[in-house]
Amino acid sequence: MSIRYAHTRLVPLLAVLALLAGLLAAAPARAASGTVSPQQGGVGTRFTFRADGFTPGERVDSWVTGPDGSAAPRYPSVYADTLGGIVWSWDVAPGTPSGPWNMTARGIKSDVRVVIGFEVVDSAPLDLGDVAPASGAPGTAFSFSARGFLPGERVSAWLTQPDGMSRDFDPGKEFRIYADEGGAVSWIWDSPAGLAPGTWVASARGFDSSRQVDIRFAITGTAPAGPARAITPTAGAPGTTFTVVVGGFNRTEVAGSWLTRPDGSSISATPYLVSDGEGVISWSWTAPADAPSGAWQAVTKGKDSGIQVTLPFTITGANPAPADPTAPTISLSPASVQPGGALTISVTGFEAGEDLYYWPTKPDGLPVENRISATADGQGAATWTYNVPNNAVAGAWTLSVLGDSSGRSAQAPFTVVMADPAAGTSVSPASGGPGTTFTFTASGFRDKPEKIYFWFTDPSGKGVNGPDWKRSSDDGTVTWEWTAPGDAVAGQWQAVAHGEKSDIFRVIPFTIVRDTPPVTAGASVSPESGGPGTTFTFTASGFKDREQVGYWLNLPDGTVIRFDHELVGDPNGEVTWTWTAPADAQRGLYVMAVRTSQSEKNKHIDHVVSYEIRFSVQ
């Protein structure tokens, strides 16, 4: 074999390169678009996505958005090819919710976004937890296992009692376990005596994946006798020593105590207590000579268990209630707030300079874990702001404040309401046919100015790309335009605007009307199966007149056969071609792929049409 070298003079070569560069620079930017195959599928289905319009070589991130609006990233990222196209896939895992989904791809450099709609069907809820036995009396050793975590990630776990209170598996100690290489964890809990009968829940949550697995089981038997809880005497004059005995706490649990006066104000009793080996706490308090007469309360609260026991008693005599300290007061503004909104908290009646702990409680009665501390001023007052979580559920919440030194406490309700996604929006005109330019306006974006991204949802729930992102104005408003394409289907559409930082969505309904249905694109093969020697005829539509169309064949073993010529769309936008299976053709499933060509002849084409046509050789 010989090797021949072609010698070319430098100047003509540079001229040719310059000419090519000019042609490339003159080529218009292609509109971004995407396809998915198949359009719907159940558990185990691999959805294959194709999109173009990106900058060649740029990294493209992608994520899926489920029927409930929650989003999850798809890893790893992919890189656009020399023509700005990408191909990637996503598998339907067990437990994936059924319903309409969207896959979004975003170019890191170009900021081009492509939204592709698809549907998950017939997906059953996933059970990722087990317990053995499923029920047992106090003292039973329960064996738990949970799956679906990331390999090696840290997992925490806790229990929820039948009364809705949370408790640790080992009171006062942090639960820490790590998932194995299969993403599973298992542990054994020796249930102690004295547990309340009923339905319990063991919850395990991954620190990195945020996956939470709830495992229900039952404690059987009769409810244990209540712990000793008494104050003696129940009444007495100033100077009387009152003794409090309270059971039901964890063994050697740290607790605190305080007293509530007849006017509702609180004073510290014994701030540091430790229960004995039976979970019992005892403490005493001697009423001073100036103790006001009336109904008092002795309060004991465990630090780890959260158990709080209030015992009433009476101080006799005629001592008047003191003018000071005043009972704590709390006010919240506004009374109703949206997720992510700010709540202003104002309190009075606490000790000067003491730390104030506060925590919100959700509508289901569970407190939000992160307590944040504020500090009272010299008059025992304080004002601060609490930002409601972005994922806060709607309903009636409660905010509690506790003085660290005085033990005084106060509570106030507030309501979390969901924002109306259509509030502060407008569209003009409200309806129109293909070719109509709609003008949309949305307001209420918080972090201004911020990037706002746009897309549309057609009447079938399929995502349609919108215009490039814009920044909101100083008043949190954004306006954008969109011209309905010629193939827009008739019916109720939705325009969606999403704030990148605030995570606020605005949804604007509008209507597409048309006198004639759009041209229906599609592809087919005849016959759908045959033996070696069979000639298969393929037809695909939805192209433009004289549009260049490329095609290739995927064999059952994954080999790709490319053809050295392109098809050309006829005046009806259709292409037809044939392929004859050779005598030694592989048996199995074949896929004939057809797609709008990226050739220079298609520079006037503003769309990308692609199909995957399946057939078999038997």
- Predicted confidence (pLDDT) per residue in 152-196, tens digit: 888 999 898 887 777 888 877 788 889 888 889 999 999 988 788
Of the given ranges (27-41, 250-264, 515-529), which has the lowest mean pLDDT?
Answer: 27-41
Burial (Cβ within 10 Å: 0-12, 13-18, ≥19) of residue 103: buried
Task: Let me know: does 32 contact 54? Beta carbons within 8 Å.
Answer: yes
- Which H or E run contains 11? helix 10-26
- Given a cut of 50, whether residue 500 has pLDDT beyond it is yes
Using CA atoms, how far apart are residues 84 and 62, in angstroms rounded to an integer? 15
Question: d(Cα 69, Cα 504) in Å, to the nearest integer?
Answer: 12
pLDDT tens-digit series, residues 551-581: 999 888 878 888 888 999 998 888 999 999 9
DSSP result, 543-556: --TT-EEEEEEE-T
pLDDT at 22 over 50: no
User: Is residue 390 scored above 70 in pLDDT?
Assistant: no
Q: Please name the helix (run of DSSP H) or strand (run of DSSP E) that holds residue 24, with its range, or none.
A: helix 10-26
Which of 2-16, 220-234, 375-389 has the highest average model confidence (pLDDT)? 375-389
Residue 244: pLDDT band by 50, 70, 90 thresholds?
Answer: very high
Is the separation of the CB atoms in 135 and 148 below 8 Å? no
pLDDT of 218 reads 92
C-alpha separations of 14 from 6, 82, 274, 346, 453 in Å: 16, 22, 88, 75, 43
Q: C-alpha distances in angstroms, 156 versus 163, 587, 615?
A: 21, 51, 50
Give the 3-state secondary structure percentages of the chain, helix then strand then coil, rounded to 5: 5, 45, 50
DSSP code, position 350: S
Positive or negative torsion for Cα 24, 28, 32, 35: negative
Amino acid at site 365: G
Per-residue pLDDT reduced to its tens digit, 200-235:
999 888 887 777 888 999 998 765 555 678 999 999
Q: What is the DSSP string of 363-376?
A: TTSPBPS--EEEE-
Q: How confident is the model at residue 7 (pLDDT cuts 50, 70, 90)?
A: very low
User: For the chain, which domains are there?
Assistant: 33-120 (2.60.40.1930), 129-219 (2.60.40.1930), 229-315 (2.60.40.1930), 329-416 (2.60.40.1930), 425-512 (2.60.40.1930), 523-617 (2.60.40.10)
Is 1's pLDDT higher than 70?
no
Residue 201's nearest CA partner among 169, 171, 162 is 162
**Mean pLDDT value across residues 101-107:** 91
Question: Quick one: pLDDT at residue 431?
Answer: 93
Q: 410, 171, 405: which is closest to 270 by C-alpha?
A: 405
pLDDT at 271 over 90: no
Average pLDDT over residues 289-312: 88
Share of the chain above pLDDT 70, in %: 88
Digit-coded pLDDT (tens) for 532-541 = 999 999 999 8
| Residue 423 CB coordination number (10 Å) | 11
Cβ atoms of residues 161 and 180 within 8 Å? no
Among 477, 475, 471, 512, which residue's Cα sits nearest to residue 495? 512
* pLDDT of amino acid 558: 75
Task: Indicate if the pLDDT at residue 133 is higher than 50.
Answer: yes
pLDDT at 21 > cutoff 60: no
Q: Kindly provide the b/e burial profile for residues 153-190, where b requires at least 16 CB atoms within 10 angstroms of the residue's own CB.
A: bebebebbeeeeebbbbebeeeeeeebeeebebebebe
Q: Within the chain, what is the greatest distance between any pair of CA atoms?
A: 120
Over residues 29-55, mean pLDDT: 83
Closest among 168, 150, 151, 172 to 159, alpha carbons compared: 168
Q: Does 325 score more than 60 pLDDT?
A: no
Tally of CB atoms within 10 A around 441: 16
Cβ atoms of 511 and 495 closer than 8 Å = no
pLDDT band at 331 (very low <50, low <70, confident <90, very high): very high
- Check whether the bond before 325 is cis (ω within 30° of 0): yes
pTM attached to this predicted model = 0.33
User: How far is residue 107 from each of residues 7, 65, 80, 84, 480, measured CA to CA in Å?
Assistant: 41, 17, 9, 10, 21
Residue 421 · residue 339 · CB < 8 Å:
no
Amino acid (one-letter) located at 414: F
Percent of the chain past pLDDT 90, that is, above it, reads 25
Determine how β-strand 135-136 pairs with β-strand 212-219. parallel
CA 147 to chain centre: 20
Please give the Cα distance from 228 to 208 (Å, whole number). 43
**Pick from 450, 504, 497: which is nearest to 475 by CA?**
450
Rounded distance, CA 410 to CA 616, Å?
73
**DSSP for 204-239?**
EEETTT--EEEEEEEE-SPPPPPPPEEEESSEE-TT
Over residues 595-611, the mean pLDDT reads: 80
Is pLDDT at 417 greater than 60 in this prediction? yes
- Of the candidates 460, 457, 608, 453, the one whose C-alpha atom is nearest the C-alpha of residue 521 is 608
For residue 285, which amino acid is it?
W
Q: Are 481 and 467 in contact (CB under 8 A)?
A: yes
Q: Tokens 């994520």 — which residue?
A: 63
Mean pLDDT of the chain: 83
Contact in structure between 283 and 244 (CB atoms under 8 Å)? yes
Sign of CA dihedral 438, 442, 448, 451: negative
Distance, CA of 100 to CA of 462 (rounded, Å): 8
Q: Which residues contact 304 (CB under 8 A, 6 or more apart)?
A: 168, 171, 172, 250, 253, 254
Three-class SS state of 12: helix
Q: Which two tokens stand for residue 195?
A: 């547990």
